[in-house]
Structure 1
Amino acid sequence: MRILCLHGSGMSPDIMKAQMSTLRELCDPSWEFHFLAGRITCPPAPGVQHLPGPYLCYSADFDPVSVRAAQVLVQKEFETQGPFDGVLGFSAGAAILAGYLLNQRTRYPGKPLPVQFAVFCSAVPIVSTDPVYYQALYGSLSSEEEQMIRSGQLDQILKLREPIRTAVKAVATVTDTLKSILNNPPTHFLDRQPLEIPCPVHPDVYKARLNIPTLHIRGKKEPRSLKECALVLESFCSPSLRRTLEHRTPHSLPTSRAEVEDMLAAMEEVVGSDRRARL
């Protein structure tokens, strides 16, 4: 079984391999983890500064152009290194994979997804690259709403109408939480022309859904903004096919052996669900 893995911002395939060393040691020897490197250099993520770089990300600005480039990178990996049975992503890597799969579902609604299961760990907002969706969410902003967004101030953002408020709030709160990695304040991402603002998918507007078994892993002590992102991602996945697992380490993959064992058991359950579904 082959699993495509995407790291978080400020990490690298080698760092992710090190963080997954216990999982790789304990899992079935037939499981092959394939790691895809981001193409953009960035500051190191907290807690990995002691590990050798480079420190990489898939999208530095979360704008539609760079996120689309990241999804193209994933598509090329499927074409040149695939097939893959499943995907596993952490943080920004999880968001890129989720966005890629949702985009596949939107563009090719009659085709099966290119994988049979997905593991999403501590995802950040899933940014759409669909111009139709961008237009639906941001295309009718008034000048007053534009100023509220450009301010980057939460008290102003909360005055926006739904679903714009939820989408912009996600960008503002998460970029503030992760500013040590992103190296920019929320205004860097919000003080833009409307169709250049990061546009997180909202389940009330973006209709695509993932009908494959999914595992959602997050830290019990994750910042609230990141917990909300994880819940949004779960809402795009079939309730009957998804499983959620929490661990004690904030915004990280599970680290203790006991929690890695729990993660492996949950992954085996998700993989088993996929196999049963195909019988």
Structure 2
Amino acid sequence: MRVLCLHGHGTSSTIFETQLTAICEALDESMENEYIFIDGPVESDRVRGSYLLLSSGIHSQLIFGLAEAGMSEMVPGPFFGWFTGFTPNEIQASHDLVAEVIAEDGPFDAIFGFSQGATLALCYLLQHSEPPPVHFAVLFSCAGPAFSSDMSLSCEIIRGFVSDDFDTLQYLATDMESSGPDPSVPLSIGSDISPREAFMETISSALRLGGDNGFIAPAAAVEQWRAASVADREELMTRVFHPSLTSTRVKIPTVHVLGQSDTAEVFAQAALCRNLCDARLVEQVEHSAAHDVPRKSEEVQQVVQAILAAKSEAELMGF
């Protein structure tokens, strides 16, 4: 099995390879595999307060939640991301890199992504479905939303934006940032939400997540969009996939892996991401960590079994 692997924001292909060590070793017990890890196109700062790399012999593990002061010494850069803004052109640049790797180094049976890398994998699959570029996908801590490079998406909503809408978005993205969302209230998914509400809710959540992870300044982003709207530059306005805004779904098996101690914001976005996939082909696995890849033996085995089941399902579908 050949797998394309996409790391999270502010990390690197090397760090993601270390994160996946236990899962890859367990998968390798049942079949011969090749994992292709690539770096994102944008050099970035190290992700905020998340990773410390410890090596012991041939085994490595990532320890989370440690002080930033020591991390830069323990984890050498450079660090990368897939995008630092949400405009269609920025999303397209990351798609172009993935397409180039698939063309030059493929074909691939699967795509594994973590955090922003999982979001990119989902976006790419939503926009490249005929034929699908891989047979199945594994999305770890998919901290969406699924951004689109398709400038025709949500045009009516964007063209209808007025000053009050940007004020509301500014409040949702910044004034709420300190307290965060109510963990008991997920992002809306069903038919009871209007397209405009779905768009606003999804964008504001994306801005809060981007602000939390240090790769976007929410207030500045909203003002840039306001200026773009005034200048009639809608190509600079973000497009997102949302279950209420599009009927497009990922039509291959997907495994969604999520830490039980991750933030309410990530849980909400992960739910949106799952609902952009064919429900008949979705498998979810939860583990005891936070925004991480599981490494406890029993949890690794749960993920491996889900991966093998997705592979078998893809084979039954003729892939």
Q: TM-score, normalised by structure 2?
A: 0.78
Percent of aligned pairs with the same amino acid = 25
Q: Does 1:179 align with 2:211?
A: yes
Decide whether aligned partners of structure 1 residues 37 and 153 sit closer, same or farther in structure 2, where only a CA change above 3 A counts: closer
Residue number in structure 2 paired with 1:108: none
The offset of 1:123, in angstroms, is 1.3
The offset of 1:180, in angstroms, is 4.7
The offset of 1:172, in angstroms, is 2.7
- Cα separation, 2, equivalents of 1:80 and 1:261: 32
Q: Which amino acid aligns with 1:44?
A: R
The offset of 1:163, in angstroms, is 2.5
The offset of 1:149, in angstroms, is 2.5
- Cα separation, 2, equivalents of 1:199 and 1:187: 18
Q: SS state of the match for residue 4, structure 1?
A: strand
Residue number in structure 2 paired with 1:15: 15
Q: Does 1:71 align with 2:95?
A: yes
Contact 2:256 2:285 in 1 (8 A): yes
The offset of 1:245, in angstroms, is 0.5
Which of 50, 68, 74 is residue 47 of structure 1 equivalent to? 50
Deviates more, 1:186-195 or 1:226-235: 186-195
Q: Does 1:219 align with 2:268?
A: no
Q: Which amino acid aligns with 1:168?
A: M
Residue number in structure 1 paired with 2:4: 4
Contact 1:104 1:113 in 2 (8 A): yes
May I ask how many residue pairs the two structures share in their alignment?
A: 270
**Superposed CA RMSD:** 2.1
Residue number in structure 1 paired with 2:141: 122
Deviates more, 1:119-128 or 1:10-19: 119-128
- Cα separation, 2, equivalents of 1:123 and 1:247: 14
- Cα separation, 2, equivalents of 1:233 and 1:120: 9
- Cα separation, 2, equivalents of 1:93 and 1:37: 10
The offset of 1:199, in angstroms, is 2.8
Unaligned runs of 5+ in 2: 52-70, 177-186, 188-192
The offset of 1:277, in angstroms, is 2.2
Which of 203, 215, 219 is residue 243 of structure 2 equivalent to? 203
Q: SS state of the match for residue 215, structure 1?
A: strand
Higher strand share: 2
Which of 63, 81, 86 is residue 105 of structure 2 equivalent to? 81
Residue number in structure 2 paired with 1:62: 86
Unaligned runs of 5+ in 1: 106-110
Structure with the greater alpha carbon radius of gyration: 2
- Cα separation, 2, equivalents of 1:65 and 1:178: 18
Contact 2:23 2:304 in 1 (8 A): yes
Which of 254, 265, 279 is residue 239 of structure 1 equivalent to? 279
Contact 1:38 1:57 in 2 (8 A): yes
Residue number in structure 2 paired with 1:112: 131
Q: Which amino acid aligns with 2:258?
A: R
Deviates more, 1:178-187 or 1:54-63: 178-187
- Cα separation, 2, equivalents of 1:128 and 1:140: 19
Contact 1:121 1:253 in 2 (8 A): yes
